[in-house]
């Protein structure tokens, strides 16, 4: 995995967990999941954001961004749906109370796969890339 996706030093993380089901894939870097090993109040249909990356937005500022967002979502759907195991690693909470984690599909980093495909850029909370 590239250094661009490593959690920054000093940030607490809450371990790793296997996802029971991915229920909805919203866009290239956000989905909801159920984790049966957690109590339902926190583990059912919880929002997950793939940490360390940013993908184009489906409600983007131009046609190019919207088209790239559709392709990024399709790639994320493909990676998740074709995998037997989805694992969240180095979990944290983000400002929207979603789980922010490195996401692995059958041991392969989804974030790194999206970056390699040109459908995401490294992102650590700084200014976002303009896709237009």
Which CATH number is 55's domain given? 2.40.50.90
Position 99 in a domain: yes
Q: What was the pLDDT predicted at 5?
A: 52
Residue 21 has pLDDT above 50, yes or no: yes
Cα–Cα dist 77/45, whole Å: 17
Position 59 in a domain: yes
Strand partners, 33: 22, 46
Residue 116: which residues within 8 A CB-CB, separation 6 or more? Answer: none
Cα–Cα dist 103/80, whole Å: 10
Return the structure tokens found at 31.
Answer: 């989905």
Residue 28 has pLDDT above 80, yes or no: yes
Residue 11 has pLDDT above 80, yes or no: no
Winning range, highest mean pLDDT, from 2-6, 37-41, 62-66, 125-129: 62-66
Q: Is residue 117 a contact partner of residue 79, using CB atoms and an 8 Å limit?
A: no
Taken in order 49, 51, 55, 57, is the CA torsion positive or negative?
Answer: positive
Domain count, the chain: 1
Calculate ∠ Cα 69-55-9, nearest 5°: 170
Position 28 in a domain: yes
Mean pLDDT throughout 18-45? 96
Position 2 in a domain: no
Position 131 in a domain: no
Position 114 in a domain: yes
Mean pLDDT throughout 14-23? 93
Residue 42 zone, left/alpha/beta (φ > 0; ψ -120 to 50; rest): alpha
Site of tokens 């059912």:
44
pLDDT, tens digit (0-9, with 9 covering 90-100), for 54-113: 999 999 999 999 999 999 999 999 999 999 999 999 999 988 899 999 999 999 999 999
Position 127 in a domain: no
Position 7 in a domain: no
List the domain range (segments joined by +) for residue 115. Answer: 13-122
């Amino acid at each position: 995995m590239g250094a661009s996706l490593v959690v920054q030093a000093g940030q607490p993380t809450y371990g790793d967990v296997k996802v029971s089901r991915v229920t909805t894939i919203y866009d290239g870097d956000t989905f909801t999941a159920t984790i049966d090993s957690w109590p339902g109040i926190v583990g059912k249909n919880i929002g997950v954001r793939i940490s360390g990356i940013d993908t184009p937005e489906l409600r983007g500022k131009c046609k190019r961004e919207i088209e790239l967002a559709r392709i990024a979502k399709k790639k994320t759907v493909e990676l998740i749906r074709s995998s037997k195991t989805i694992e969240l690693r180095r979990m944290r909470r983000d400002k929207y109370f979603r789980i922010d984690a490195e996401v692995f599909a059958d041991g392969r980093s989804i974030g790194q796969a999206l970056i390699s495909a040109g459908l995401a850029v490294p992102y650590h909370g700084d200014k976002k890339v303009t896709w237009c």
